[in-house]
Amino acid sequence: MKYDPIPSDLFVRNRRKFAERMVPGSLAVFNSNDIYPIGADSTMPFQQAPDIFYLSGVDQEESILLLFPGATNPKHREVLFVRETNDHIAVWEGAKLTKEEAFAVSGIRTVYWLQDFDKVFFDLMTEAETIYFNTNEHYRQAVETETREARFIKKCKQEYPAHRVAKSNPILQEIRGVKEPEEIEQLRTACGITEKGFRRVLGFVKPGVWEYEIEAEYLHEFIRNRSKGFAYTPIIASGNNANVLHYIENNQQCQAGDLILMDVGAEYANYSSDMTRTIPVSGRFTDRQKQVYQAVLKVKNLATQMLVPGTLWAEYHKEVGKIMTSELLDLGLLDKADVQNEDPEWPAYKKYFMHGTSHHLGLDTHDYGALKTPMKPNMVFTVEPGIYIPAEGFGIRLEDDVVIQETGAPVNLMADIPIEAEEIETLMNQG
């Protein structure tokens, strides 16, 4: 891996948090992701399933984690299964984890080769009464592919029909949403790499460059700083492209006088950063562009102050909507009649700001985390208001990543990334 090793203490604590929430007489199983085929003998780069990484630190395909806190044999209360390596695999694919290395990474003392899984699992299932299945229940998921986890669940239900079934997901939503200090450090590193990419781009952008050239500048800087690359598909949207919320073609030439909305973030150690900045192609905002820019920045700053322990996600978004409504009135994009006659289910401000303001951030860009209960310290959220004006040919979104504190305002992990309009103009016009 490109990244520095993460201390195994983190994964030991994460497993302890999960095990404490399991019902008596239960075991839980977590599978690695598949390596997905493209065609012929080509595959997509391997990306570890976040849940098994969160609980073990193992960043390798064909790995399985089994947790059984009540196992009769203490050595089987945490078990890791990894693919057996050999000289042939080492030559063709690169070295895989040995049992000793798997222990060093995870802190799990009992490590078996994957070929032993069925035998060990059968033995432990004769003791267990309940099995926790790991299903993806993220509120934005839309999975059509049968995953390795799904195949395991199907097989397990056929072979062990008498066992009770429980869900890992509610536990993971609860514990993954609150970050440990080591996790926040990985996120901070990812944000620092993103900053380097953004500063590089500020010196590169000028009229006539292509969106994909800007994308390439980011990727160069990310990889040279030990990132695997983008944490998610980047958006480099110039002009009216910014009014397409998930514009990813990145194939247009940037014109003088336009703005570029860039929603990009570096990955580091499987943790995601998520930044949006909007900059002028020509290095200077027009008066109208700056007016709208300042409105978005004001909403972002006020929204950030609201991210404190006890805040309810749904109520927070309503309050941000009120602030945005006030700004849109000042900009002349809404009038009082628009607000007075608005549909409560789709308020007037949604014409220009149609998405949410914040989401959890961590191992996933839209990370697991509780959304229906009060916010807690050490939750990490994005803050990303925007105003999109197709009739004027531009859209502006600004986004930072922040950590909720026990007391006081959240810590902005992107505080060093330029965001003030004047600073961006100064940096774009140096030398």
Q: Are 162 and 311 within one domain? A: no
Q: Is the model's pLDDT at 94 over the cut of 80? A: no
Q: Are 154 and 197 within one domain? A: no
Strands (E), 68-140: 78-82, 110-113, 130-133
Residues that are catalytic: 41, 246, 263, 274, 355, 359, 366, 384, 388, 397, 399
- Average pLDDT of the chain to the nearest whole number: 96
Domain of residue 342, CATH code = 3.90.230.10
- Please state whether beta strands 164-167 and 130-133 pair in parallel, antiparallel, or not at all (unpaired): parallel
Q: Which residue has the higher pLDDT, 96 or 264?
A: 264
pTM above 0.85, yes or no: yes
Q: Is 3 contained in some domain?
A: no
**pLDDT tens per residue across span 1-19:** 889 999 999 999 999 999 9
Q: Are 206 and 324 within one domain? A: yes
Q: Is the model's pLDDT at 431 over the cut of 70? A: no
Q: Is 421 contained in some domain?
A: yes
Q: Classify residue 263 by its DSSP letter.
A: E
Q: Is 2 contained in some domain?
A: no
What pLDDT, on the 0 to 100 scale, is given for residue 151?
96
Q: Are 60 and 136 within one domain? A: yes
> Which two three-digit tokens encode residue 208?
């006539």
Based on C-alpha coordinates, what's the Rg of the chain?
A: 24
Q: Is 208 contained in some domain?
A: yes
Q: How confident is the model at residue 284 (pLDDT cuts 50, 70, 90)?
A: very high
Q: Are 209 and 289 within one domain? A: yes
Cα–Cα distance, 265 to 215 (Å, whole number):
11
Q: How confident is the model at residue 88 (pLDDT cuts 50, 70, 90)?
A: confident
Q: Are 157 and 257 within one domain? A: no
Domain boundary among 131, 147, 176: 176
Q: How confident is the model at residue 244 (pLDDT cuts 50, 70, 90)?
A: very high
Cα–Cα distance, 29 to 167 (Å, whole number):
11
Cα–Cα distance, 221 to 198 (Å, whole number):
9
Domain boundary among 110, 143, 176: 176
Tell me the three state secondary structure of residue 369: coil
Q: Are 65 and 125 within one domain? A: yes
Q: Are 41 and 187 within one domain? A: no
| Contact of 18 with 175, CB cutoff 8 Å | yes
What pLDDT, on the 0 to 100 scale, is given for residue 91?
64
Q: Find the range with the poorest average confidence among 84-93, 238-247, 270-279, 399-408.
A: 84-93
Q: Are 78 and 33 within one domain? A: yes
Mean pLDDT of 28-57: 94
Q: Are 160 and 296 within one domain? A: no
Q: Are 67 and 110 within one domain? A: yes
State which residues form the domain around 77.
8-176
Mean pLDDT of 197-213: 98
Mean pLDDT of 232-260: 98
Domain of residue 153, CATH code = 3.40.350.10
Q: How confident is the model at residue 89 (pLDDT cuts 50, 70, 90)?
A: confident
- H or E element at residue 9: helix 8-20
122: number of Cβ within 10 Å: 11
Q: Are 217 and 362 within one domain? A: yes
**pLDDT tens per residue across span 137-183:** 888 888 888 999 999 999 999 999 999 999 999 999 999 999 999 99
Domain boundary among 130, 158, 176: 176
**pLDDT tens per residue across span 346-383:** 999 999 999 999 999 999 999 999 999 999 999 999 99
Q: Is 1 contained in some domain?
A: no
| Contact of 348 with 340, CB cutoff 8 Å | no
Q: Classify residue 28 by its DSSP letter.
A: E
- Total structural domains within the chain: 2
